[in-house]
Amino acid sequence: MSLLERGTIQSLGIYSLMVVQRGLGSWDWNYINPAAAYHLLDNVASSPKATASIKKLDLAWETMPLHTYDLVRSKFINIQSLSVRRAFRVWAFDDRELGRLWDEGQAQKWKPYTNLTTLNLIDCSNAYAPHIPKLVRLFGSLQHLLVSTCGYSTDKKAYPDADWHSTTDALWKARQPLDTFHMEHMLDWEILALGVIPTRKLITSNIHTGHLSHAFNEDHQIFPGLQHLSLEPLLPDLETGETTDGEKEHAFLEEFCKGRSVELSKDASYIKRSRDSRSTFHV
């Protein structure tokens, strides 16, 4: 804390070993209260020198209380990179509702971090896909976005308006495209909701077969400014040695990319494996 209060520390990471080391979470984690982690971050947020000096904040926690959630969204005025793994939950450990990212009463708590260039949201149940574009609009300097294995079982399907691409306030007209957007474990309706985000490079991984191609087939204009699409390589079946699953989708996407003059590569790798790649329910 002495170094933090002097303003000499630019990167701060606070990690739960369970969250970082285990590939899959547990429902019981929602009732873990890492009070020491909260206490540390609360103290940092109360120091003007510390909050002004922090450029990179990396949090991997089981849960997060509401007051700490509010601090993360408002106090780190010079932050350039924010990474949150699991800690953003729909419910706090004491069963208080944190709400989804842009719910009524939550949107105004986000400060427009003008220097933020990198945002990583991993395994965050409150990161509702239709709310992600709101953050991209708010963070005008954002260049790199990762949304992996986010969402909750009660998320309602929500699609952009049919004319979203041509409206005067369309996101692609309001800001430059992201440099990279890594999208992982999303269903077709979530991909369509995220598709209003402009990006030069789209990286996709751990997406159940058919959902990506269905989204592109449903709306040919998603991801404005797209120049490069990166897919996971097709791997042979361990028993048969054949690569049948996903071949039709890859063929469709190859033709789609040609039609939009988009470079296609098959070199993506996943960030986090989900329990079930066909469901939006995560623990």
Give which of 40, 55, 71 is closest to 9, Cα–Cα: 55
DSSP string, 60-117: E-S---HHHHHHHHHS-TT--EEEEES---SB-TTS-B---TT-TTTGGGS---TT--
For residues 85-96, average pLDDT: 78
**Average pLDDT value for residue range 18-23:** 86
The model's pLDDT over 59-90, given as tens digits with 9 standing for 90+, comes to 999 999 899 999 999 999 999 999 999 999 98
To the question of pTM greater than 0.85 for the whole model, the response is: yes
pLDDT digits (tens, 9 = 90+) for 202-253: 999 999 999 999 999 999 999 999 999 999 998 766 566 566 668 999 999 9
Q: What is the helix, strand, coil percentage profile of the chain, to 5?
A: 30, 15, 55
pLDDT tens by residue, 146-182: 999 999 988 999 999 999 999 999 999 999 999 999 9
Q: Taking Cα atoms as reference points, which of 70, 220, 196 lies closest to residue 131?
A: 196
Right CATH for 2-265 from 4.10.830, 3.30.160, 3.80.10, 3.40.50: 3.80.10
- pLDDT attached to residue 32: 85
